[in-house]
Amino acid sequence: MNKKTVILISSVLFLFSALFVFANKETIVSSVSFPEGYRQWVHTKSMVIFDKKHPLFEPFGGIHHIYVNEKGLKANQEGGEYPDGSKLVFVLYEADETGGAYVAGKMKFVAVMEKDKKRFSDTGGWGFEVFKAGSQAGAVKDSKKECFECHSAQKSSDYVFSRYVE
């Protein structure tokens, strides 16, 4: 082989491995994509965690709303198993207090659960992701540890904490 051929083959091999690493990284890092249009989904419930004494103040202090897409609505309202394609959003804002009232302040993050029994068989059939305010890149590194460890306690409601408030 002459020098030119070696350079060409090396370049091609390098590009392929770079592509492989990049593609793989994509799969691992953001298997659940940003839930575009979630604010048009059905709002199911809200909560304000305002005091340090609440056990979830550290991760979830603030005002949060839950939204569910059409596929997941029935299970959220009536219980039972969520069908594949169901999505739930938990969006957290700072809780701004003004004169005896709380309103939503700065957004903190958008968290998503997406049901796909095959893709997410290790975590109860649910994929988990968190998007910090303004970011479309997932922040979760190990959804088993960071998300499912807590959600696994909710097996009887298909690993979902929230229930629709009439």
Which residues are near a second copy by CB under 8 A? 39-40, 42-43, 45-57, 63, 65, 67, 93, 99-104, 107, 165-166
Q: Find the shortest distance in angstroms from Cβ 3 to a second copy.
A: 58
Q: Find the shortest distance in angstroms from Cβ 88 to a second copy.
A: 14
Q: Which CB sits closer to a second copy, 143 or 162?
A: 162
CA 68 to chain centre: 12
How many CA atoms, within 13 angstroms, populate the side-chain half-sphere of residue 10?
7
Q: Find the shortest distance in angstroms from Cβ 123 to a second copy.
A: 26
Distances (CA, A) of 140 to 22, 31, 82, 133: 17, 10, 22, 14
3-state class of 95 per DSSP?
strand
Rg over CA atoms, the chain:
20
Q: Which CB sits closer to a second copy, 39 or 117?
A: 39
Q: Which CB sits closer to a second copy, 65 or 108?
A: 65
Q: Which CB sits closer to a second copy, 25 or 39?
A: 39
User: Parallel, antiparallel, or unpaired: how do β-strands 42-49 and 87-97 relate?
Assistant: unpaired
